[in-house]
Amino acid sequence: MNRPAATTIAVFLAIILVVGVVVAVVGLGTDGATALQVGDAELSQKSLNDELREFASNPALVNAVGQDNVSVAPGSVNAQGTAFVATFWIQQQVAKRILERRDERVTGDDRASADDFFTGNFGGAFDSYPQSFQQRLKNRVAAVAAVVRISSDNTYRRLLRREAERAGVTVDPAYGLYRPRSVSVGRFPTPATPPGRSTPS
């Protein structure tokens, strides 16, 4: 079975481009409340903040993607890094609902696609993370790869959008703005980029 690697990579590269111009800083002092929710699945602020700290504390990643793309001050993660991690979690939860509804599972090929994505976009930088962190993010990408595999290039985005609408997605404003069309987290509109002129997704 062919891996849906190329399509999966395109999906997540699109996400990176969407949030690439965000410059706001998300402080990591919040705790307890819900940061992200998809249907009944919730990710607490504490859990997300812990992931963001781990994401931004990797010197190899900072060197690979550039300091400005991850963190702009000690103890904080900029909105690009925040949206990147938050989007992964949201899309995984939506994908899991689709797979369960269709009695499908993540396969070895889907996991291989996730490996290809991280290797292709981060090289050895991703390997310097703890295995638990690597596996968590790879599982998220693999779930979306599975949806790509069971649908097609023309329908998987629609599946994600419809399932996200069915489940309901909530994002704490401290972490960004939920974008239903791309099932992602991105920047808030600004005078320079009002809603009608937002970055294409």
Q: Give me the residue spans of the domains in the chain.
A: 5-192
Residue-wise over 127-165: b if at least 16 C-beta within 10 A, else e? eebeeeebebbbbbbbbbbbbbbbbeeeebbebbeebbe
Note the pLDDT tens digit of each residue in 100-141: 999 999 999 999 999 998 888 777 778 888 888 889 989 999
Higher pLDDT, 50 or 91: 91
d(CA 163, CA 39): 10
User: What mean pLDDT is predicted for residues 90-102?
Assistant: 96
Highest average pLDDT, of 4-13, 47-56, 90-99, comes from 90-99
Q: What phi and psi, each to the nearest 5 degrees, are found at residue 34?
A: -80, 130
d(CA 98, CA 162): 10
Q: Is the pTM of this model over 0.85?
A: no
